[in-house]
Amino acid sequence: MTKLEFSTDLDLLREGLRSNASVESLEDNLASVMSYENPQCIGKLLMCLDDNYIYQEFMWSILHSVESFQIDVYVRELVKFLPMVRLKAPEWAVTLLLRILNSEEHDGLLLNQFEQWPAVGKDIYNNIITEIERRLPGKFDNQIAKIKISLFKN
């Protein structure tokens, strides 16, 4: 499959989202995109998340699809795109980070990515973390403390 086919399938998915296509049609488009097994689609799919989309069950399909990549690849791409997702779909940004925090085996990957991240996006990550602290006081204290240290280490 070519890069052009990959782009075309992504465009079809985006158009389906814009036009409120049926969930079945959207699922077919998503399956086509995922068939390429291309990690470059992770960020593009994350940017399709929408807090107000009519078919929220399809938003969950997107989330489960991107989570199907190897965890280190997924976390790397998630950290790259999370600030943009936060601006476009704030609730989904919180959900994405919560799912990583819920898995103690994966939060080390998250810390490693945050340590390497430029200062530019760190305020947005801190904003998401603060939102999680507000919603779930005490639940992720250890992980959040490590993330804050990691974010502002340099």
Residue 1 has a pLDDT of 53
CA distances from 105 to 101, 130, 137 (A): 9, 22, 21
Confidence bin at 107 (pLDDT 50/70/90): confident
Dist. CA 108–CA 146, nearest whole Å: 9
Residue 2 reports pLDDT greater than 70: no
In the prediction, which pLDDT does 32 show?
94
Determine if the pTM surpasses 0.85.
yes
Q: What is the mean pLDDT of the chain?
A: 89
Looking up tokens 């639940």 gives: 139
pLDDT score of 23 more than 80:
yes
Q: What is the pLDDT of residues 26-85, one digit of tens each?
A: 999 999 999 999 999 999 999 999 999 999 999 999 999 999 999 999 999 998 999 999
Q: What's the pLDDT band for 103 if we cut at 50, 70, 90?
A: confident
d(CA 149, CA 15): 41
| Inter-residue contact 83 to 118 (CB < 8 Å) | no
pLDDT of residue 154: 58
